[in-house]
Chain A
Amino acid sequence: MAIDVKNLNFFYGNIPALKDLSFSVTQGDFFIIIGPNGSGKTTLMKVMAGIFKPKTGRLKILNRTLENYTRKDLAQTMAFVPQMMPVDFPFSVIEVVLMGRSPYMGMLGIEQETDLKIAEQALAFTGVDHLAHRKLDQLSGGEQQRVFVARAICQEPEIILLDEPTASLDLAHQIRLMDLMEKLKNETGITVVMVSHDVNLAAMYCDRLLLLKNGEMVCLGPPDEVLTFQTLEAAYGCTLLVDESPLGKVPRITPVPHKYIHRE
């Protein structure tokens, strides 16, 4: 198991955010966590990344409990791409990507030839090698996101966690990024765990989906099991149409605007 969660509880102060979650992520899976706003998706991701400490329950990364990892060990095992935020300091792309090597470097992060080589490969893999010497703040959102993925790849992790990586990207960049993560999973066997708001995008790429509501698990399984009319309506509380995508055996979800509901 890449990630194994058992009876996990997490509180913000006294407010429960994650309630008795138990699930596991198989190695090499494309695993996507969906759910309405405030359902605890991002909290769960930060607990898995080791940023938040769970109140009770157990969290195993590659069959080893989180407490048994040193910071560097964990950083060499798992990389995290948080939600996008503006960077005010003009680092160049190659500088940012090289930071991903820091779990392998000394305190001052002095890079060797091999680190540079790995960084270049990661840039090439994510298709931003031509931007290596540009400043990060001059890039578009989609380009920046791929730079951050390249940085994560540089950590040579077994698991990559991404928190809503496609939010605020245009359609083309959304698909490019998802294609990139799929390619990464297929070519390297890295486990990809992602939080997403976009159920349709999730349906097209994931092996398994976890649907959360109010910090509780509603459903877990392959997309055609999770993305049904009943589960989605229960979780999101709005009227939805679920049919098959023109692409094939993938569910397609259409939220129904109010004005269409009373027509028939």
Chain B
Amino acid sequence: MNTEKPLLIKRLWVVSFSLLLVLFAAMFLGLSLGSSHSGIKAVFQNLLGIGPQDPMLDTIIWKIRFPRILLATLVGGTLSLGGLVFQAILKNPLAEPYILGISGGSAIGAIIGILMGLLRFPGVSLMAFSGSIGTLLLILVMSSGHTILKKDALLLSGVMVNAFCGAVIMFLVSLTQDARLHNIIFWLMGDLSMVDMPQVGILAAMLLPCFFLVFWFSNSMNLLLMGKEMAQTMGINVKAVTVTLLVATSFMVSTTVSYCGLVGFVGLVVPHLLRLLFGPDHRVLVPACVLGGGAYLVFCDVLARTLPDQGEMPAGVITAMIGAPLFIYLLKKTRR
């Protein structure tokens, strides 16, 4: 028998390196394009530090676009990873933080935090985290009983959780008649525009350890897909792995929600695409989701910034317009 399967390490490098290139390309695009129409040439000059420099462009690139691109990278990577983890643990290729209602739960928590006048970090983030854990428990209670085991049922419960969260959010927002109403609604649709570098730094410090934690458990996720029982008899501590991954994922997702609201379907589109390209091995998919998801959201954000003639739209609008049709297609395909 011939085994042409390259060793894992080699595959990991090839995949990570190629996706890193994609990410850099998306980042460059993100730095170059925007509402101020300064040519690619000027951006190149600024990046390389050669030729005549435009101080205005310098500010736009490094004070506005750069933190925004880093934010999009972190958020896109987190949401893709979140989708990947939920898909593995619930053994449902359609699971995703937004679809399951985890993001919605975080948003309720975050809004309460915002309306209480808390700081984004740590107050609002902590509130979002409690919201996500609450939703997670609700989902787990519903999916562990004997009533809701079917795939569709779990998703249906997610839709209901989402509808409920949406109603609660509007309820809270309407009650207060807050002057920042427009901002909150914009934020809800996934807005990447409201950060500066220190905030990106805090976010990265919270998210990067989680990325490594999930990678540490990536092989366990492979085994879990063979079924809890088989995984356990192959030496996996199923309960510990599941709880750790779910809590870490909820933490990551809720943190991103508290920074930029609800960006939906990224966790569905990216893992699905990467699985098609690189196969279902989570040891490859985890780093691929971080890099590829980052690139994807940077790209969606570029569209969100450049498509409208004036101003911009939330990136969540673009991701939903791409993701929802794919979801419907996958739902039809995976039904038996």
Interface residues of A (CB under 8 A from B): 46, 49-51, 71-72, 74-76, 78-82, 85-92, 94-96, 99-100, 102-103, 105, 107-111, 116, 120, 123-124, 129-130, 132-133, 155
Contacts and interface: CB of A to CB of B under 8 A. Distances in A.
B331 interface: no
Given A88-B92, A110-B7, 20 more contacts: A49-B233, A51-B232, A75-B233, A76-B235, A80-B230, A86-B336, A92-B279, A94-B5, A95-B222, A95-B280, A102-B236, A103-B234, A108-B8, A108-B219, A108-B283, A109-B222, A120-B1, A124-B1, A130-B1, A132-B3
Contacts, number: 100
B44 interface: no
Contacts of B235: 71-72, 74-76, 102-103
A76 B283 CA distance: 23
Contact of A107 (B5, B216, B229, B281): B216
A87 B336 CA distance: 13
Interface residues of B, number: 35
Given A111-B7, A116-B3, A124-B1, A155 B234 contact: yes
Contacts of A124: 1
Contact of A51 (B9, B229, B283): B229
Q: Is the interface of B mostly helix, strand, loop or mixed?
A: loop
B233 A90 contact: no
B91 interface: yes
B3 A94 contact: yes
Contacts of B334: 88
Contacts of B3: 94, 116, 120, 132
B280 A132 contact: no
Contacts of B283: 108-109
B255 interface: no
A90 to B, nearest CB: 6
Most buried by A among B8, B235, B275: B235
B237 interface: yes
A110 to B, nearest CB: 5
Contacts of A76: 235
A82 B227 contact: yes
Nearest to A113: B7
Contact of A87 (B1, B225, B281): B225
Contacts of B9: 110
